[in-house]
Amino acid sequence: MNHHDRSINAGLIVFSLGILAVCQGSGLAQTTQTPQVNSCVVCHSDMQEDMKGSIHSQQGIFCDRCHGGDPAQSTKELAKAPGTGYIGAPSKKQIAEMCGNCHANVEIMNFYGIRTDQLAQYKTSMHGKKLFQGDTNVAVCSDCHGEHDILPVGDPGSSVYPLNLSKTCNRCHGNEKLMSQYKLPSDIFKIYQTSVHGKALLEKKDTGAASCISCHGYHGAVPPGARDVGTTCGKCHMNEKKHFLESVHVTASEQGKFSECISCHGNHEVKPASKVLYDQTCIRCHSAEGPEAKRGGEILKMLTEAEEKLRSTTALVKQASIEGIFVEPEMASLESVKTNVIAMAPLQHTLSPERVSELHKKVISNTADIDRSIHQKRQSLWLRKLALIPMWALIIVMISALWAKYRQLHARPGNKKDGKEKRS
Amino acid sequence: MIKGWIKSWFADRYDVDQIEEVIKGQVEKPLPENISWFHTLGSMSLFLFVSQVFTGILLLVYYRPTVHDAFESVKFIMTTTYMGWLFRQVHAWGANLMIIVLFLHMLRTYITGSYKKPRELTWVIGAALFFLTLVFGFTGYLLPWNQLAYWATTVGTEIAGAIPWMGNFIKTLLRGGGAVGGETISRFFVVHVIILPWVLFFLIVAHLFLVRYQGIATMDPVSPGKEPKLKEGVPFFPDHVLKEGIVFFILLGVLITLAILKPFDLGEKADPLQTPFAIKPEWYFLPMYQMIKYFPKLVGIFITSLGPLILVILPFLDRGKERNPFKRPISMMLGIAGLLLLVGLGMLGAVAETKKNFFGKTYEFDIYGIPRLIKANAGSSESLQPPQTPPK
C-alpha cells in the first residue's frame, strides 16, 4: 500500500468518525458492542474486497470478532496492543469455538432466525470429534462456509448452496492422499455425479435432490450405519420406507444381514429405480429358480402390466380427444389409474404380490372401464354416421315419390303452359 | 259416422262453408307461370325458423343462462341428454343454413324484381327479417359461453361502442356493464329466446299475409295502376307444394348430415383473462368486419351501415318498371358487384391472421388479408405485395 492510498484511507476513517458522531448525536447509531469503524482494512486492504459481499460484513461484524484486536484504533500498534485480545489467524479449534461464540448464542441468533445447535452438532460429528482429539486435517466451519467471504446459505454463490455443496465436500473427500489416511474412498463425488440424485441436482439443477448432507447430515455429519440407511433414505422416500418395514426383509435387516435400501439400490451410485433390479439384485441372495425369485417375478409382471395399461389407455383417451370426443369423465378416471400406478412403486417394497395385486386389479379394471367407455363413444359416433344411410334412403324415396307426382301432374292434358298468363 | 257428427257439430255453430271456401281459395290459389324452384326458398326459411323454435325449446329444457352454468349445461346437453347432441347441432347448423337460405331468397327476389310495386312493404319486412336473423345469430352465438363466443361478442359489442354519440350507451346496454359477463348473457338470452322469436313471428305473419294477399309477382313490368288479380295459373296445391316438399326433404337431409358429419365444437369455457389469437366473428359478419378494417373507425362504421340501409329502402330507390333481369342491366351489374364485394371481403376476412400452405410454401396473411411468404430459415416474413398502409 503506498502513501497516497493510506492518506485516502485515513481520510475515510476521519469522515466515518464524523458521520458516526452525527449519528450518535441524533440517536440513530445502533447500540451494539461492534466498533463502528474497521481500521484493520487500512493495512489489510486485500481482505476488504472479500469481505464486502460477506454476510458478516453486511451485518457490521468486523475482523475483531474472530481475530481479536481493536479495529477502532488508528494505528497498527494500538489495534494489536496487549489487552485487545488480538490472536491473529485462529487455529481450527479456535475457529469452531469462535463461530460458536455467536452461532451457539440464542440471544444473538434469535434476531436472525438462525438455529444455534450447529456447534453442539459439530462436536458429535466425525469432523468435530477428530478435531477436538487434535486432528487438524478435518473440516471446520470455515472449510465449508469460507472465511472472509461467507455468504448466506441461500445465496447461489455460497459454497454450501445445495448446487455447490457436493463440490465443497469433494474438496477434501476427493483428495486421494488425504482420504487414504482415513481409509476412505476418494471417488465418491465421481460416483455420485452419475447417480439419479447427482444428475437431478447437478444437471437438472433440482435443489430438492439428495446431496451429501441429505444422508450424512451437515454439522453433525457421520456416515450412517447399516441400520440407519433406511431412516436416511426414508426422509424423502417415506412410503418406500413404510412399506419396506412391512416386508420380509426387515428381519434380515435387523440382524444386520441386509442393508435396507442399499442392498438393492446401492448408495452413492443409486440409479433410477428400474424393474431390471428384480432380475439383477434378487439373485444376489436368492436362487434364480427359487420361490422368492418367483414372487419377485409376479410383482414385476404386475408392475409392467399396470404401466403398459396406463400408457395404452392414456394414448387412447388422447386420440379420442383429438377426434373431438368428450373425454372429461375418462380423463378423471385416468387420474385415479395414475395414482394407483404411482402408489404401486412404493408398495412393491412390501415384496408381497398379494398387496401389489390389490392395486394392480384396480388399474386393470379401471383402464378396462375407460377403454370400454371410449369404445362405446366411438361406436355411438359411428352409428350416427351409419344412420345417415337409411335417412338418405328415406329422403330419396320421398323425393322420388313427390317428383313422380309432380311429373304426373305436368303430363296432364291441358296442363301445358303456353307461357302466357291469363288475367281478368 | 264420426266424421259426419263432427261436421254437423261445427256446422251448427260456425259458417263452415265460408271457412272451407277461404281455405280452398288459399290452397288452390293460382300462382304465376314463372313460379320456379327458387320460389321455394321462402318456405324453406319458414321451415328453418320452425326447426329453430322446436330445437330451441328442447335446448331450453337444460340450458342455464349464467356464467357459471351456461358452458356446463351445453356440455351436459351434448354429452348426457338423450339426443341432445342432435338438437344442439341441428340448432347451430339450422342458424347458419337459415342465413344462407334467407340470403338466397332475397337474391331471388332481387333478380326477379319482385320487390317492386306493389310489394315494397313485403321486401322491407323481408329485409328486416334477414337482419333480425343476423341479430338472432349474434345473440345465440354467446350463449354456449365458450372462448370463441365470449371474445367474438366482446369484439362485436366493442364495434357497436364506436358508433358516434350513442356508441358507449349501446355498448353498455348490450353488455349490461363495462365488460361481457353475467349481465350480458342474461340480456342476450332474453333477446334470443323471448323478444326475437316473437318479433320474428309477427313479422313473418305480416310478410306471409302480404305474399298471400298480393300474390306472387310475375315477370311483367310494373303496372301503372293497381296490379290485376291472377285468375289462372299454376295451383299452389298440389303443384307448388310438391316442389316445396322435394326441396324440404333435401334441406332436411343436408341439415342432419351436416349436424352429424361436421358438428360444431364446444371448445373451451370462456376465460376473460385469456385472449385467443385472431378473434373473428361468425362467417356471416366477416364481410362487414373485414370492411371496417380498411377504414378509419367512424368511416368504416358509416360505410358498413350503408349496405343494410340501401337494402331496406331498395324498392324506393329502384323505381324502374322492368322486372325481367335481362332488361335491368344496371341493377344486375350492381347486384353482381355487391355479391362479389361480399364474397371477396368474406374470403379476405377468413384468411386474415392465418397461415396457409400453397404449393409447398407457407404464407402468413395479415389482418388486411395480405399474404406474406414466411422464410423457412428465420421467422422473418417477406411481403409478396407492397404492404398496404391503411388510411388513418
**ipTM of the complex as predicted:** 0.88
Residues 107-166 of A with CB under 8 A from B: none
Per-residue model confidence (pLDDT) at position A11: 44
Domain span including residue B358: 353-392
How far is B266 from chain A, CA to nearest CA, in Å? 10
CA A357 vs. chain centroid, Å, equals 31
Grid cell in block for residue A92? 481450527
B261 in the same domain as B138: yes
Shortest CA distance to A43 belongs to which of A18, A67, A17? A67
Is the domain of B294 the same as that of B390? Answer: no
Shortest distance between the Cα of B350 and any Cα of chain A, in A, equals 23
Per the CB < 8 A criterion, the answer to whether A37 and A72 are in contact is yes
Q: What is the mean pLDDT of residues A22-37?
A: 44
Q: Is the pLDDT of residue B6 over 90?
A: yes
Mean pLDDT of A132-147: 91
Tell how far CA B152 is from the center of its chain.
17
Task: Look up residue A62 and give its three cell numbers.
Answer: 468486523
A279-293, B132-146, B149-163, range with greatest mean pLDDT: B132-146
Which residues in A lie closer than 8 A to residue B265 (C-beta atoms)?
Answer: 324
Can you tell me the distance from the alpha carbon of A75 to that of A270, in angstroms, rounded to the nearest whole number? 58
DSSP string for B161-177: HTSTTTHHHHHHHHHTS
pLDDT above 80 (res A10): no
pLDDT exceeds cutoff 50 at B33: yes
Q: Do B344 and B387 lie in a common domain?
A: no
* Partner B contacted by A388 (CB < 8 A): yes
Q: What is the mean pLDDT of chain A?
A: 84
Shared domain for B253 and B159, answered yes or no, is: yes
Q: What average pLDDT does range B369-387 have in this prediction?
A: 59
Residue B7 lies in a domain: no
Domains of chain A, residue spans: 1-89, 90-221, 224-271, 291-410
pLDDT classification of B375: cutoffs 50, 70, 90: low
Question: Most distant CA pair in chain B: distance in Å?
Answer: 90
pLDDT for the residue numbered A31? 36
pLDDT higher than threshold 90 for residue B360:
no
Residues in A closer than 8 angstroms to B263, CB to CB, are 324
Q: Which of A326, A406, A417 is closest, CB to CB, to B33?
A: A417
Question: Does residue B156 share a domain with residue B37?
Answer: yes
pLDDT bin (cut points 50, 70, 90) of residue A231 is: confident
In a domain, B122, yes or no: yes
CA-nearest residue to A400 within chain B is B246
Task: Determine contact: B260 vs chain A, CB below 8 A.
Answer: yes
pLDDT at A204: 93
CB B361, CB B372: distance < 8 Å: no
Interface test with A, best of B43, B248, B249, B269 (most A CBs within 10 A): B249
Same domain, B360 and B219: no
Pairing between β-strand B381-383 and β-strand B30-31 as defined by DSSP bridges: unpaired
Report chain B residues whose CB lies below 8 A from the CB of A392.
Answer: 253, 257
Is it the case that residue B159 has pLDDT exceeding 50? yes
CB contact under 8 A, A398 and B245: yes
Q: What is the pLDDT of residue A28?
A: 35
Segment holding B59, helix H or strand E = helix B41-62
- Interval B110-126 mean pLDDT: 96
Residues of B in contact with A373 (CB under 8 A): none
Categorize the per-residue pLDDT at B381 as very low, low, confident or very high, splitting at 50, 70 and 90.
very low
Mean pLDDT of A336-350: 95
Indicate which CATH number applies to the domain containing B269: 1.20.810.10
Say what the pLDDT of residue B87 is: 96
Q: Respond yes or no on whether the N-terminal peptide bond of residue A152 is cis (omega within 30° of 0).
A: no
Residue with cell 448408495: A267
> Band of the pLDDT at A215, cuts 50, 70, 90?
confident
* Same-domain pairing of B309 and B368: no
User: Do residues B280 and B383 both lie within one domain?
Assistant: no
* Phi then psi dihedrals of residue B80, to 5 deg: -110, -45
Q: Which of A361-393 are b and which e, b meaning 16 or more Cβ less than 10 Å from the residue's Cβ? A: ebbbebbeebbebbeebeeebeebeeeeeeeee
pLDDT tens digits for B318-357? 999 999 999 999 999 999 999 999 999 999 999 998 888 8
Question: pLDDT band at B389, cuts 50/70/90?
Answer: very low
Nearest to B33 among A403, A405, A419 (CB): A419
Q: Is the pLDDT of residue A416 over 80?
A: no
In this complex, do B253 and A391 lie within 8 Å of one another by their Cβ atoms? yes
CA-based nearest residue in chain A for residue B244: A402
| C-alpha pair distances (Å), A49 with each of A9, A85, B7 | 14, 25, 115
Query: What value does the mean pLDDT take over residues A61-82?
Result: 85
What pLDDT does residue A227 have? 58
Question: Comparing A27-31, A259-263, A409-413, B199-203, which segment has the lowest mean pLDDT?
Answer: A27-31
Per the structure, how many domains does chain B have?
Answer: 2
Does pLDDT of A20 surpass 70?
A: no
Residue B2 lies in a domain: no
The more confident residue out of A276 and B314 is B314
Q: Is B238 in contact with A409 (Cβ distance < 8 A)?
A: yes
Distance from CA of B306 to the nearest CA of A (A): 39
Per-residue pLDDT for A343 more than 50? Answer: yes
Query: Residue A397 pLDDT > 50, yes or no?
Result: yes
Digit-coded pLDDT (tens) for A300-331: 999 999 999 999 999 999 999 988 899 999 99
Are the beta carbons of B167 and B115 closer than 8 angstroms?
no
Is residue A15 scored above 70 in pLDDT? no
Q: Does B382 touch chain A (CB under 8 A)?
A: no
Look at residue A391 and tell me whether its pLDDT is greater than 60. yes
- pLDDT given for residue A36 in this prediction: 62
Q: What is the pLDDT of residue A1?
A: 40
For residue B146, how many C-alpha atoms fall within 13 Å in the half-sphere facing its CB?
A: 14
B261 near A CB under 8 A: yes
Mean pLDDT of A3-7: 46
Asked whether residue B277 is domain-assigned, the answer is yes
What pLDDT was estimated at residue B385?
A: 46
- Per-residue pLDDT, averaged over A220-247, amounts to 81
Residue B198 lies in a domain: yes
Q: What is the pLDDT of residues B42-78, one digit of tens each?
A: 999 999 999 999 999 999 999 999 999 999 999 999 9
Instruction: Summarize the confidence of residues B303-332 as an average pLDDT.
Output: 94
In chain B, the percentage of residues whose pLDDT exceeds 70 is 95
Task: Judge if B54 and B128 occupy the same domain.
Answer: yes
Predicted local distance difference test score (pLDDT) of residue A254 = 81
Q: Within this chain, do residues B191 and B322 fall inside the same structural domain, yes or no?
A: yes
Lookup: cell for B240: 307448388
B132 vs B358, higher pLDDT: B132
Of residues B255 and A7, more confidently modeled:
B255
Whether B122 and B55 have beta carbons less than 8 Å apart is answered as no
What is the average per-residue pLDDT within A238-253? Answer: 89
pLDDT band of A225, cuts 50, 70, 90: low
Query: How many residue pairs from chains A and B have C-beta atoms closer than 8 A?
Result: 62
Q: Are residues B267 and B366 in the same domain?
A: no
pLDDT at A13: 45
Q: Which three cell numbers stand for residue A133?
A: 482429539
Chain B residues inside the 8 Å CB shell of A391: 253, 256
For residue B270, the model assigns a pLDDT of: 95
Say yes or no: B227 and B359 in one domain. Answer: no
Shortest CA gap A398–chain B (Å): 8
